[in-house]
Amino acid sequence: MTDELVRERRGAVLIVRLNRPEARNALNSALIDGLGRAVADAEDDPEIRAVVLTAAGDRVFCSGMDLREFAAGGATPSAEGVAAFTRLCRGELSVPVIGAAAGAAVGGGLELLLGCDVIVAADTARFGFPEVKRGLYPAGGGTSIGTRIPLAIALEMTMTGDPVDAHRAYELGLVNAVVPPEKVLDAALDLAERIAANAPLALAAVKELVRLHVTDSARAAERDAELQASVFASEDAKEGATAFMEKRKPEWKGR
């Protein structure tokens, strides 16, 4: 773990905080590596049922790639860190991820949020992909934004490079809730705790299948059949039914 990334446990929820406010929480190699390792560890820890991804400061969640380091040809993160970071941005982690953006998210910062399953944003936040203004394009998964918002708006955002504000993002379905900046983390934690209270195998299944149905319905049907066989026959499925009949909270084992 790096000082530029802070981890904090709240029960079954892991808070992962980008901690480079002086650099607008730009993604340098150390931060990418630390973030990748943090979410990989969360997947491997059965006691962690959800991750909240947030950032220090209330003006910028993440400004994207650290262009200073990129231009200088700086250090590169570990292969393991990059692999997990990439899976995070693609929404491929098995553990649910809740984004908590108290400030602007642009470029790689917005790509990072697109990897989150649900997003809470400050009413002062803005979101955009300015890459075309710099001779680039959002190559870290940003071009998939059309799977989350209407295609015409996705094309407008990526081709003009202009941002949208938090209320517009909510209208488009890009974020799930808009609250004052000082309430972003609490709102995200509330969501995370509600999600973490559910069965881990079922959560992993619905996360994978809902995302897959948007991009590959044929593969989603195949995975649905595979997951039904394992999830419905799990100890947790039996526990869920038993707890319901006994009118008590279920005790999930993740198997």
User: E strand or H helix at 177, and its extent?
Assistant: strand 177-179
Pick left, alpha or beta for residue 8 (phi over 0 → left; psi -120 to 50 → alpha; otherwise beta). Answer: beta
Three-class DSSP category at 234 = coil
Among 4, 131, 246, 251, the one annotated catalytic: 131
The whole-number pLDDT of residue 238 equals 96
Mean pLDDT by 10 residues, the chain (255 residues): 84 97 92 95 96 95 81 76 94 96 96 97 97 93 95 98 98 98 98 97 97 95 96 96 95 93
- Give the C-alpha separation, 113 to 97, whole Å: 9
Q: For domain 5-196, is the CATH number 3.40.50.300?
A: no
Please, are residues 12 and 48 in contact by the beta-carbon 8 Å criterion?
Answer: yes
The whole-number pLDDT of residue 72 equals 66
CATH 3.90.226.10 domain extents, the chain: 5-196
Sign (positive or negative) of CA dihedral 41, 115, 54, 175:
negative
Q: Which amino acid, 122?
A: A
Among 111, 156, 171, 251, the one annotated catalytic: 111
- Is 69 catalytic? The answer is no
**pTM exceeds 0.95:** no
Please, are residues 114 and 129 in contact by the beta-carbon 8 Å criterion?
Answer: no
- Is 43 catalytic? The answer is no
**CA distances from residue 125 to 17, 119, 169 in whole angstroms, order as listed:** 17, 12, 9
- Give the C-alpha separation, 156 to 17, whole Å: 30
